[in-house]
């Protein structure tokens, strides 16, 4: 996928950032999946990397439960990064392409990547998972969510208001293979359906395969 196509999606998220935050900052359907993160990562302290942080909804929830966590967040949408800085003022948020995660300094006890890969093609998701494995500490935990579906349906989607994004779907088999190729192993995977949609969403909890 060309950079121009990514910029189409970024432009849409920039325009709709406030509406996105209004819906998802305190979205119980997702917060239930965040609670499971803390079962795998019970530590009070630690370094967290939030890739595709959006308005900071995951980081804000995590720090409401674990105030001592140190947050670093990235997103390609400047509007989303601005919102994340407002919602998690003590975090370190920057505009950065997920594919450039190797440019983030340090290593992390917890990496979260909430609904970032639905906007990356398969090749770039493979690259991202490799970058994640490089930044995840040996005993670290990865939380990642995606939309389950046939990759044959990948492509441009436009709503009734003319807002467009390039969407990408993944199957459980494909995701397991990509995780394994990156040296990661899935600890558990939960499937959920949005209350007002028939879209199947998958939430993965993973670690280094050597653990």
Q: Which whole number is the average pLDDT over 157-170?
A: 83
Query: At 145, which CATH number?
Result: 3.40.50.150
Distance CA 211, CA 209 (A): 6
What predicted TM-score, i.e. pTM, was given to this entire model?
0.93
Total domain count for the chain? 1
Give helix 57-65 / helix 78-87 axis angle, nearest 10°.
Answer: 20
The dihedral over CA atoms of 195, 199, 200, 201, expressed in degrees to the nearest 10, equals -80
CB neighbour class for 160 (10 Å; exposed up to 12, middle 13-18, buried from 19): exposed
What integer pLDDT is reported at residue 211 of this predicted model? 60
pLDDT at 122 over 60: yes
| Structural domain harbouring 146 | 3-208
Query: Tens digits of per-residue pLDDT, 164-183?
Result: 888 899 999 999 999 999 99
Average per-residue pLDDT for the chain: 92
Which residue has better confidence, 13 or 120? 120
Strand pairing class (92-95; 164-167): unpaired
């Amino acid at each position: 996928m060309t950079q121009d196509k990514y910029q189409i999606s970024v432009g849409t998220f920039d325009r709709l950032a406030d509406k996105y935050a209004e819906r998802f900052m305190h979205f119980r359907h997702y917060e239930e999946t965040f609670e499971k993160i803390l079962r795998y990562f019970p530590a009070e302290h630690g370094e967290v990397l939030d890739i595709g942080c959006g308005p900071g909804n995951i980081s804000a929830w995590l720090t409401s439960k674990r105030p001592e966590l140190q947050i670093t967040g990235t997103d390609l949408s400047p509007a989303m990064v601005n919102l994340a800085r407002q919602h998690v003022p003590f975090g370190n948020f920057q505009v950065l392409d997920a594919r450039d995660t190797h440019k983030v300094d340090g290593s992390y006890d917890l990496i979260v990547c909430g609904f970032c890969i639905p906007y990356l093609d398969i090749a770039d998701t493979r690259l991202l998972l490799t970058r994640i494995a490089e930044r995840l500490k040996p005993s670290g935990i990865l939380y990642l969510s995606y939309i389950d579906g046939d990759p044959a349906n990948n492509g441009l989607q436009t709503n009734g208001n003319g807002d467009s994004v390039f969407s990408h779907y993944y199957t459980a088999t494909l995701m397991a293979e990509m995780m394994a190729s990156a040296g990661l192993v899935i600890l558990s995977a939960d499937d959920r359906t949005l209350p007002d949609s028939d879209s199947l969403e998958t939430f993965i909890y993973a670690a280094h395969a050597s653990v």
